[in-house]
Structures are given as structure tokens and as C-alpha cells.
């Protein structure tokens, strides 16, 4: 895709916004010159964080009279209507004035406002929240992470197709290998829905991915599977558990390396390996969840991330647009 990528950016969502959003845009543009940013929010708050040397031809600021607060319920946020920066950013994609939209704001509000404004991809009943996880061999796409608590067999089959399409868009050289997150690897384990989905995927002749059956929670990071499918309840529990475990490991390692002379000496000797370890688990490098299944792509940046994490979410946006993710899903669903 050679034409300029237009990203609609909700500048007012998440911690330390709009500063981190603008800093993230500047950082992203240094590596992605073929990008134009439509920035939505309170103009006088945004302007003061834009560097004087930043090229004025690569962005425009669209004023909003209101914002979605982190404390707003999805219903409260939706009732504010097109006064908010989030609504206007999504509306920009709906009206084909941008290729993709990103926000670090309220997740529930973003999901509801996106569903109110954007149509579903034909033949898909529910959108899913997907994200990237590191594994021993590279990266995995995991979905659904909380958008749908109750899922049918068709929903899980659709998630498999969408997840495989997303992985292929972000990592063109990878072969999608799909597995269903379950309480065991044996074919007879699990509830009726997941067992029915297993049978459907086993019988499905799909050239776009390999179906690997079930995967248990303790195998998620092995890398033998790179598209992991679950209902929203199971996926969200797995996500929070993984995040908590990663934080626990890094915190305990830091304590071990700083609470004694020998620990500090060991840390000094192994500084390169420790930095590599820290980088591998740095959540900013994998920031950028995707609402997948809507007729236009919607990316959710973590609200607590910094400018580097937001910049990485913008990079996810660029890859999705370049790879024509929506068209891939439409083709594969058909």
C-alpha cells in the first residue's frame, strides 16, 4: 500500500494525555513518514505539546467540546454523542476520512461507541478484542480478551479466522497455527461449545491456518501455537493472569538484584542479559489491542502506557492498514 496512511487519533484518553499521545505521534512519525494524523480533542490542550519543528503538513487537529472520562460508563459515554473526541475519531473512520482509529481511553466506551457507529463485517456476528503476546518463538495473537462473555461455536470459529488473518497481516512470513484455550488437551475435555467448535475446526478445510486442537494455559508461551482462541471470560482471566505473573517475576528479580551487595554485583556482571530480559517482558512493546470484526479497524492502546507504548500502538495501526486486514477477513470468512 503506497498511499498515505491516515490515522484518526483520540488524543484525550488514558493517563497523561494528550502529552503522551502527541509524544507518541512524533516518535512514530520518525519511523513512518508516509502517515497523516487526524487528531481529535481539546485544541488548546493539544497545541502546547506539539513541537514547533513538527511538520504541520502531516497532521490536523479537530476540536471536540467534550471527552470520554475513564470513570464514564459505556452508556454515559455513548450519551455524550458526537461531542467527544472518541466519538469524532470513530466517526472519521466511518466517513472514510481515516483508515483506522486509535484511542487510549475507556475500553468499554470505545467498544460501545465503535459498535454504534461501525457496521460488522458480513457473516460475523460478534467482534472480538485481540492482542499480541510474546512467546518463546515470536508472537501470538490472543482473542477474545473480554468483549464477549458468552460465545457460540460460530463465534469461536469466526475468532479463529479473524485471529489468523490478523497474525498474517502483522507477520506475513508466519503460518497461523490456531488452538482453542481449554482445561486439557484431550479431545473429550471442555464444555459442549468448545467441543463443538473443536469438531467444526477439525472438519474445516481452511488453507489460511493450521488447526492444532486444544491448548492449556501452561503452554501459552511455548510458541507451538500462535493464534489462541477463547471466549471473553476465559481470555480475560488468562490475560490478567499473564500480566500479573510477568509483573511478579520482574519485581522479584529486581528485588533479588538490589537488596544485597552480591545481588548488585551479579546484576552489574549480567547487565546485558538483564536488559534483554526486561525488554522481552516490557508490555509497551506489545501495546495495542484490536477490536476485530468491525468493518473498520479500531485499536485500543493501554491507558496506563507511556509515549513509547502509544507509538507502538500506532505501529500496529500502520501494519494493519498496509496489510488490508479487513479485506483479508472478508475473503477468509467467505
Cell of 48: 502546547
Specify whether 76 is located in the same domain as 144.
no
Q: Quick one: average pLDDT of 299-326?
A: 93
Residue 276 confidence (pLDDT): 65
Specify whether 182 is located in the same domain as 310.
no
Tens digits of residue pLDDT in 321-330? 999 999 999 9
Confirm if 37 and 30 have CB atoms less than 8 A apart: no
Burial bucket for residue 19 (CB in 10 Å: 0-12, 13-18, 19+): middle
Confirm if 5 and 321 have CB atoms less than 8 A apart: yes
Specify whether 104 is located in the same domain as 240.
no
Q: Quick one: average pLDDT of 34-59?
A: 94
Specify whether 227 is located in the same domain as 281.
yes
List the 128-135 sheet strands across, edge first. 59-63, 35-41, 5-10, 100-103, 298-300, 289-292, 128-135, 138-143, 227-229, 177-181, 210-215
Does residue 332 sit within a domain? no
pTM score of the predicted model: 0.86
Tens digits of residue pLDDT in 123-167? 999 999 998 888 888 889 999 998 888 999 999 999 999 999 999
Q: Where are the beta strands (DSSP E) in the chain?
A: 5-10, 35-41, 59-63, 100-103, 128-135, 138-143, 177-181, 210-215, 227-229, 289-292, 298-300
Query: Which H/E stretch holds residue 177?
Result: strand 177-181
Confirm if 320 and 297 have CB atoms less than 8 A apart: yes
Q: Quick one: average pLDDT of 105-119?
A: 94
Residue 268 confidence (pLDDT): 65
Tens digits of residue pLDDT in 221-276? 888 999 999 999 998 888 888 777 777 877 777 776 677 776 666 666 766 765 66
Containing structural domain, residue 229: 125-285
Specify whether 100 is located in the same domain as 168.
no
Q: Is 255 left (phi over 0), alpha (psi -120 to 50) or beta?
A: alpha
Amino acid at each position: 500500500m503506497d498511499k498515505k496512511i491516515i490515522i484518526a487519533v483520540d488524543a484525550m484518553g488514558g493517563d497523561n494525555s494528550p502529552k503522551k499521545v502527541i509524544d507518541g505521534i512524533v516518535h512514530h512519525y520518525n519511523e513512518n513518514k508516509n502517515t497523516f494524523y487526524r487528531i481529535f480533542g481539546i485544541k488548546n490542550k493539544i497545541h502546547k505539546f506539539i513541537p514547533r519543528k513538527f511538520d504541520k503538513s502531516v497532521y490536523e487537529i479537530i476540536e471536540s467540546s467534550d471527552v470520554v472520562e475513564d470513570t464514564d460508563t459505556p452508556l454515559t459515554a455513548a450519551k455524550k454523542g458526537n461531542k467527544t473526541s472518541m466519538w469524532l475519531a470513530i466517526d472519521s473512520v466511518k466517513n472514510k476520512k481515516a483508515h483506522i482509529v486509535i484511542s487510549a481511553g475507556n475500553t468499554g466506551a470505545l467498544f460501545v461507541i465503535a459498535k454504534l457507529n461501525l457496521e460488522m463485517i458480513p457473516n460475523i456476528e460478534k467482534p472480538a478484542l485481540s492482542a499480541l503476546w510474546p512467546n518463546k518463538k515470536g508472537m501470538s495473537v490472543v482473542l477474545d480478551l473480554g468483549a464477549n462473555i458468552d460465545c457460540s461455536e460460530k463465534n469461536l470459529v469466526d475468532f479463529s479466522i479473524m485471529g489468523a488473518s490478523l497474525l498474517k497481516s502483522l507477520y506475513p512470513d508466519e503460518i497461523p497455527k490456531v488452538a482453542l484455550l481449554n482445561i486439557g488437551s484431550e479431545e473429550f475435555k471442555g464444555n459442549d461449545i468448545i467441543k463443538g467448535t473443536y469438531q467444526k475446526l477439525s472438519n474445516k478445510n481452511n488453507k489460511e491456518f493450521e488447526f492444532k486442537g486444544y491448548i492449556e494455559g501452561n503452554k501459552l508461551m511455548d510458541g507451538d501455537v500462535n493464534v489462541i482462541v477463547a471466549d471473553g471470560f476465559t481470555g480475560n482471566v488468562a490475560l490478567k493472569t499473564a500480566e500479573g505473573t510477568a509483573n511478579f517475576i520482574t519485581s522479584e528479580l529486581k528485588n533479588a538484584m538490589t537488596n544485597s551487595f552480591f545481588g548488585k554485583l551479579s546484576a552489574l556482571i549480567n547487565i546485558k542479559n538483564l536488559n534483554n530480559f526486561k525488554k522481552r517482558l516490557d508490555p509497551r512493546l506489545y501495546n495495542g489491542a484490536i477490536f476485530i470484526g468491525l468493518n473498520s479497524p479500531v485499536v485500543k492502546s493501554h491507558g496506563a502506557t507511556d509515549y513509547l507504548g502509544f507509538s507502538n500502538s500506532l505501529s500496529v495501526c500502520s501494519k494493519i492498514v498496509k496489510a488490508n486486514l479487513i479485506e483479508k477477513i472478508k475473503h477468509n470468512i467467505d
